[in-house]
Chains A and B, each alone.
Chain A
């Protein structure tokens, strides 16, 4: 039955090929169901393989199934061979199992996407590569899968590549992982050079004979690869950006499976790490501290994120740090246990967030969520189960596995172990806090999707102020116009008065000069002049009155506008919008959201949620700590792991540690309740901008790589082009140069050749004679 293992990668491969050929013609949703069936077939074959392995004696549970010889070079050989053992089977079970669920979910999630079938091509190719990675019995075959999943990750992160942000995110993931792959490749070369073989069984078997420097170099180089793939500090920074991909991809690749392959690799070479634990503990200490440091660091960042998927991304980085901590503590079972439970609940959380995003018109900002519990009952119920699992609430799955890791750190002993444990514990507290924050912001509180958020309120205020400024300017212009009119009217009045006075003077002069001549005329002229002057004055007075009224109104409008504008120049930060004031200026997006009605997702999406929720509740049953009989996972993995770990801590210590971690989780949850549910404190005190900015690490790396780093690498490129290539090219041009110099000897003249032969023979003869004589 172990032979069924061949079918495991074959199913996704067939799915991949057939989708390549006919995917577009199958269309939606048939292509999706075909891919789901392929992954389901792999799962079924894995289950059969599982029973096949279980049926063997415990000592025989490491079966190598060789397909063909891949590389043959002298004594060195690499086969395409599958190492079927409890570890790889356990990994395959959850890769294919969760993979199938996520395939099904994707059928619902990708509904209506123009590249529907292409998405499933990548998904099946990913599952195939992942299975090769898991099944490979040597570093090279694992590397093949390792690169395959990396390529699929790249394709899927930038799946919606028409937006530049997404394309950049994919590129970032790919380039960052190349740094890690460098470590993996050099480690493979080193294993070949020192051990002479790169298959895991030989490497683990000869670990004890390796010298300490070689052992340390092997482990640390592999660990560089792990830092890349499993998103550990300092190479974690691609994972949060990878959230640009469709949410099922985030769940499958960037939370549940691919990112755990680094931890899987370290567990594969557990013989090496066990040897380091015995003789070179500083090596494992590096691993443990990088793990706990990453866990802690990422958790602080997760606290302030506003994007629902970014929180989960940093949470994933943090949880991977836990697994690495477990490996560094030498407790591989705890690492695998957490890997499995994490796959359950993190896939659940991601799919849940995808369901929310889907229902909320592709909006990912948690500040706009709230009160979704009633609108999305299935999503919220399952999400809450995932939250309880990751927050470490017993009896959900996450509690058992996280507690086991904290216990392993404590069990290292000494100050080192206690410090590791302490940081792990604080991380657990923060995990509980930020996950509770997420749940409360999303599912509790008031429904406020149609309300503008803080940024949009600011935007509305800005628009309003700009508008008020315009009104003020307009009023000012009107007032200026009125004043001008007034001035003109006054001037007209003055002219009229002058005319009146002139008329009177004219009148009296006329009276004097022609009093007797035209007395009647005088009377006529007088009355005409008086009428004219009076009419002019009347007209001017009216114009003046009117101008005065206009000027008054204008200055009133000006004053109003000024006072209104000055009242709003400095709105209190976050001032609520009141009706009639700035509320008309909210961005159009808000109005669009207000008209949107959130809805529960369809059955393809909710079914996986329910299954994963059940697994998140009961996942702890795999390895309950109470009695040895309940350590199912530990007993199952025994044949794969060189060293059987026994905790030194007493039963009482274990209980105390468990209670302490429950209390820590409780504090985290209560803190979130106070701030986000009861609003007893301002969230801004916790959500510092520097946390939202990930401590500026991302920007610092970009600044370095854009400036001095780029110069440094340009320098190295120059060295490569001129010194390294120069030596190679120099050899070539030396040969060519000396050749063209010596070429002249070949004159083509037979007689000169004959002369050469003769002279040579004479010289030889002379030499012989001298030797004989001597």
Chain B
């Protein structure tokens, strides 16, 4: 019997992978992908619970998350491209000009 619990466990797994990825990787592109993983883990939670609770609201939320994610990728990638134009590489740890 398929229950929402499976989805939630999967989603927690995926979210954790994403979070750890953001923290340990230095390549901004990989970090982006990890952020996407985290977002989609959340989406999975929404869908799973919407299905389990029989509530359409969760599914609607997913659209919003996807829209926001798309927008974020646009901006984020634009920044990465801009940085690549000025520097040789784009390692997240090198970009610390905002240091206090």
- Closest-by-CB residue of B relative to A742 is B100
Contacts of B22 in A (CB 8 A): 751, 754
Residues of chain A at the chain B interface (Cβ within 8 Å): 743-751, 754-755, 758
- A-B residue pairs in contact (CB < 8 Å), sample of 22: A743-B100, A746-B99, A747-B100, A748-B95, A748-B97, A748-B98, A748-B99, A748-B100, A749-B92, A749-B93, A749-B96, A749-B99, A750-B31, A750-B92, A750-B95, A751-B22, A751-B23, A751-B93, A754-B22, A755-B23, A758-B19, A758-B23
Other A-B pairs beyond A748-B96, A748-B100, A754-B22, 10, CB < 8 Å: A743-B100, A744-B100, A748-B99, A749-B96, A750-B31, A750-B95, A751-B22, A751-B23, A754-B23, A758-B19
Contacts of B99 in A (CB 8 A): 746-749
Q: What's the nearest-Cβ distance from chain B to residue A566, in Å?
A: 96
The 10 closest A-B pairs by CB, nearest first: A746-B100, A748-B96, A748-B99, A743-B100, A748-B98, A750-B92, A754-B22, A749-B96, A755-B23, A747-B99
Residue from B19, B23, B31, B96 within 8 A of A747 (CB atoms): B96
- Closest-by-CB residue of A relative to B20 is A758
Residues of chain B at the chain A interface (Cβ within 8 Å): 19, 22-23, 26, 31, 92-93, 95-100
Q: Are A745 and B19 in contact (CB under 8 A)?
A: no
Q: Are B100 and A751 in contact (CB under 8 A)?
A: no
Q: How many A-B residue pairs have CB under 8 A?
A: 33
How far is it, in angstroms, between the C-alpha of A234 and the C-alpha of B22 when the chains are bound? 81
Q: Are B23 and A746 in contact (CB under 8 A)?
A: no
Q: Are A751 and B26 in contact (CB under 8 A)?
A: yes
How far is it, in angstroms, between the C-alpha of A745 and the C-alpha of B98 when the chains are bound? 11
Contacts of B19 in A (CB 8 A): 758
How far is it, in angstroms, between the C-alpha of A20 and the C-alpha of B84 when the chains are bound? 71
- Closest-by-CB residue of A relative to B92 is A750
How far is it, in angstroms, between the C-alpha of A754 and the C-alpha of B28 when the chains are bound? 13
Task: Name the residue in B19, B92, B95, B100 with the highest tally of chain A Cβ atoms < 10 Å from its Cβ.
Answer: B100
How far is it, in angstroms, between the C-alpha of A518 and the C-alpha of B1 when the chains are bound? 193
Q: Are B98 and A746 in contact (CB under 8 A)?
A: yes
- Closest-by-CB residue of A relative to B19 is A758
How far is it, in angstroms, between the C-alpha of A315 and the C-alpha of B96 when the chains are bound? 82
Q: Are A751 and B92 in contact (CB under 8 A)?
A: yes
- Closest-by-CB residue of B relative to A750 is B92
Contacts of A747 in B (CB 8 A): 96, 99-100
Contacts of A758 in B (CB 8 A): 19, 23
Q: What's the nearest-Cβ distance from chain A to residue B92, in Å?
A: 5
How far is it, in angstroms, between the C-alpha of A754 and the C-alpha of B34 when the chains are bound? 12
Contacts of B26 in A (CB 8 A): 751
Q: What's the nearest-Cβ distance from chain B to residue A742, in Å?
A: 8
Q: What's the nearest-Cβ distance from chain A to residue B45, in Å?
A: 14
How far is it, in angstroms, between the C-alpha of A746 and the C-alpha of B97 when the chains are bound? 10
How far is it, in angstroms, between the C-alpha of A749 and the C-alpha of B97 when the chains are bound? 9
How far is it, in angstroms, between the C-alpha of A634 and the C-alpha of B96 when the chains are bound? 86
Contacts of A743 in B (CB 8 A): 100
How far is it, in angstroms, between the C-alpha of A746 and the C-alpha of B99 when the chains are bound? 5
- Closest-by-CB residue of A relative to B24 is A751
How far is it, in angstroms, between the C-alpha of A750 and the C-alpha of B83 when the chains are bound? 15
How far is it, in angstroms, between the C-alpha of A744 and the C-alpha of B96 when the chains are bound? 13
How far is it, in angstroms, between the C-alpha of A446 and the C-alpha of B69 when the chains are bound? 115
Contacts of A746 in B (CB 8 A): 98-100
How far is it, in angstroms, between the C-alpha of A586 and the C-alpha of B98 when the chains are bound? 91
Q: What's the nearest-Cβ distance from chain B to residue A735, in Å?
A: 15
How far is it, in angstroms, between the C-alpha of A538 and the C-alpha of B7 when the chains are bound? 163
- Closest-by-CB residue of A relative to B22 is A754
How far is it, in angstroms, between the C-alpha of A745 and the C-alpha of B93 when the chains are bound? 15
How far is it, in angstroms, between the C-alpha of A702 and the C-alpha of B38 when the chains are bound? 84
How far is it, in angstroms, between the C-alpha of A614 and the C-alpha of B95 when the chains are bound? 95
How far is it, in angstroms, between the C-alpha of A641 and the C-alpha of B69 when the chains are bound? 82
Contacts of A751 in B (CB 8 A): 22-23, 26, 31, 92-93
Contacts of B98 in A (CB 8 A): 746, 748
Contacts of A748 in B (CB 8 A): 95-100
Q: What's the nearest-Cβ distance from chain B to residue A715, in Å?
A: 43
Contacts of A750 in B (CB 8 A): 31, 92, 95
How far is it, in angstroms, between the C-alpha of A746 and the C-alpha of B93 when the chains are bound? 13
Q: What's the nearest-Cβ distance from chain A to residue B57, in Å?
A: 22
Contacts of B23 in A (CB 8 A): 751, 754-755, 758
Contact A745 B96, CB 8 Å, known A754-B23, A758-B23: no
Contacts of B100 in A (CB 8 A): 743-748
Q: What's the nearest-Cβ distance from chain A to residue B69, in Å?
A: 17
- Closest-by-CB residue of A relative to B35 is A754
